Chains A and B, each alone.
Chain A
Amino acid sequence: MKKTIHFTLNGQKRSIDVAPTEILLEMLRERLGVKSPKCGCDRGDCGTCSVLVNGRTLRSCLMLAVEIDGAAVTTIEGLGKDGEMSPLQKTFHERNAFQCGFCAPGMILSATELLARNPEPTRDEVKEGLAGNLCRCTGYTPIIDAVLEVSRKSGEGK
């Protein structure tokens, strides 16, 4: 039986009828047209399907759509403010922290969660915070550097 769920997606209220079997990732991509979460492994290992639910990164390939009833979901489309990219998005862009870009939404969302909880992480903490997000192009170094650069900059701003 279908169930109507209410949630916010990138700050906007949404309501949609979902079947219990619907996976959150499929619902976001196929029914709501939000294409930034991607299906890499479909089993929780790669991080490309990550979304923020109430501020925490979760694997949308391992969630039923009905489970987000009442929650606040953020994808990378919702990170910037007033048409401006977030500091992480900007720095990833400036530092060339991605090549094909397939992993970037998951990386940036994971880094967003990390910096919200730990504004000045060590290099090892950044690695641990991003673990489970696989990148096949960059070799990770520019990604880790970009996250550290953002954390340093925000530290200077204090």
Chain B
Amino acid sequence: MAIQEAFEYAKPKTLREATKLLRKNKGAMVLAGGTDLVGYLKEGFVSPSLVIDIKSLAELKKIEFKGNALHIGALVTFTDILESKVVAKKLPVLREIAEKVASVGIRNRATLVGNICSAVPCLDSGPVLVAMDGVVHVKSTLGARKIPAEKWFLGARKTARKPGELVTGVSIPLPKGKAAGCYLKLGRYQGEDLAQASVFVLMVGGKKPEFRVAFGSVGPVPSRGRRIEKSLNAGESETAARALVGSEIKPITDIRATREYRLHMCEVMLERAVQAARARLTGDGPAYGAAII
């Protein structure tokens, strides 16, 4: 399939140049990995006047740990995440997430930031950001903004990004204590598929363990499970927490799964994710990436 609508192409060398181009051209779109954008262009779903390829902006290709947060630049691909020593050491559950995204040929190009900019409801990068109070960093010629992940996702394919703004990266604040997480993604078969439902759990150890919970693919945007967190933080069991799932999410029936199936599987996955995170915290849990569902 050929792209029908013509556009211009620019590959700026600096961030300043990129934001200037974005401001001057109302119809411009940003290209990083392109695994979504090029598909949209071919389908005629978008028709920008200018495509701004940001792949020369080396400063956006970094994964860094500073100020107690993990920073992931806009050009970091899922393969980069899988191969990063910093991620393996500081937030190994992020590898479990990256590994579940599509296939190698896509992960080699697709970026985490691109994933949250496309913001389809089944995105894999959403739950972790929402659960861990991730922050989205944007820049424009007018200055920089930091947007909490929960305020970033406004609806299916809708984000808080304003015209002229370029997303430069995301940061994930890491908890002070020892922590372990688990990301479970339900697909129609093993191997690459879009999620029917997904659950992210983080457990922070200590005398009074603390939990973070979020769901993906069961609503237009990834959603935090605050009632469940409260119950788990109060020392209730994961089996008790299952009963709260129905009050946190309102999935729909669509081509990939029914409402009932999604609800039921979210209960099962929540329970198993909490168990896995707890076992990982004490060091005898399943390896990250192991099949748990």
- Whether the pair A62, B6 counts as a contact (CB closer than 8 A) is no
Chain A contacts for B31, CB-based, 8 A: 64, 67
Determine if A115 is an interface residue (Cβ-Cβ < 8 Å): no
Flag A6-28 by CB within 8 Å of B: 1 or 0 each: 00000000000001111100100
Does A127 interact with chain B (Cβ within 8 Å)?
A: yes
**Chain A min CB distance to B249 (Å):** 28
Q: Does B38 contact A (CB under 8 A)?
A: yes
Closest to A2 in B: B9
B278 to chain A, nearest CB (A): 25
CB–CB A47/B2 < 8 A:
no
> What's the Cα separation between A20 and B38 when bound, in Å?
11
Further contacts, 11 of them, CB under 8 A, given A58-B109, A63-B109: A3-B9, A21-B6, A23-B42, A44-B102, A47-B103, A57-B104, A62-B35, A67-B55, A132-B104, A132-B106, A132-B192
Alpha-carbon distance A101/B106, docked complex (angstroms): 22
Query: What would be 17 A-B contacts, judged by CB atoms less than 8 Å apart?
Result: A1-B8, A19-B6, A20-B7, A21-B6, A21-B41, A22-B3, A43-B39, A56-B79, A59-B105, A62-B38, A64-B34, A66-B53, A67-B53, A67-B55, A128-B191, A132-B102, A133-B103
Please tell me if the beta carbons of A57 and B191 are within 8 angstroms of each other in the complex. Answer: no
Q: A43-B39, A58-B109 are in contact. Are A26 and B2 (CB under 8 A)?
A: yes
- CB of A18 to closest CB in B, whole Å: 9
B1 CB–A CB distance under 8 Å: yes
C-alpha gap A41/B260 in the complex (Å): 32
Query: Does A87 have its Cβ within 8 Å of any Cβ on chain B?
Result: no
**Lowest 5 A-B CB distances belong to which pairs?**
A132-B103, A20-B9, A21-B3, A56-B108, A131-B191
- CB pair A59 B109 closer than 8 Å: yes
The B89-139 residues at the A interface (CB cut-off 8 A) are 99, 102-106, 108-109
Interface size class of B (residues with CB under 8 A): 20 to 34
- Chain B residues within an 8 Å CB radius of A128: 99, 104, 191
Is the CB–CB distance between B2 and A21 below 8 Å? yes
Q: Does A145 contact B (CB under 8 A)?
A: no
Task: Tell me if A40 is interfacial: C-beta within 8 Å of chain B.
Answer: no
B74 to chain A minimum Cβ distance, whole angstroms, is 16
- Nearest chain-A residue to B3 (Cβ)? A21
Q: Which residues of A (70-103) have their CB < 8 Å from a CB of B? A: none
Nearest Cβ on chain A to B191's Cβ, whole angstroms? 5
Q: Is B51 at the interface (CB under 8 A from chain A)?
A: yes
Interfacial residues, chain B to chain A (CB-CB below 8 A):
1-3, 5-9, 31, 34-35, 38-39, 41-42, 51, 53, 55, 79, 99, 102-106, 108-109, 191-192
* A33-67 CB contacts (< 8 Å) to partner B: 42-44, 47, 50, 56-59, 61-64, 66-67
CB distance from A150 to the nearest CB of B (A): 17
Say whether B42 contacts A20, CB under 8 Å: no
Taken together as a complex, chains A and B put the C-alpha atoms of A70 and B105 apart, in Å, by: 20
Determine whether the beta carbon of B108 is less than 8 Å from that of A63: no
> Once bound together, how far apart are the Cα atoms of A128 and B109, in whole Å?
17
Evaluate contact between A66 and B105: CB separation under 8 angstroms: no
Asked if residues B106 and A21 are in contact (CB atoms below 8 Å), the reply is no
How far does the Cβ of A51 sit from chain B's closest Cβ, in whole Å? 10
Which one of A21, A67, A113 lies within 8 Å of B104 (CB-CB)?
A: A113
- Nearest CB in chain A: distance from B58 CB, A: 14
Give A48 to B53 CA distance when docked, in angstroms.
25
Nearest neighbor of B10 in chain A, beta-carbon distance: A20
The reply to whether A110 and B38 contact each other, CB–CB distance below 8 Å, is: no
A119 at interface, CB cutoff 8 A: no
B105 close to A47 (CB less than 8 A) = yes
Cβ contact within 8 Å between A131 and B104: yes
Query: Nearest-CB distance from A22 to chain B (Å)?
Result: 8
Q: How far is the CB of B33 from chain A (nearest CB, A)?
A: 9
Residue of B nearest to A49 (CB): B105
By a CB distance below 8 angstroms, the chain B residues around A20 are 6-9, 51
Name which residue of chain B comes closest to A3, CB basis: B9
- The 8 Å CB contact of B38, one of A57, A63, A131, is A63
CB distance A62 to B2 under 8 Å? no
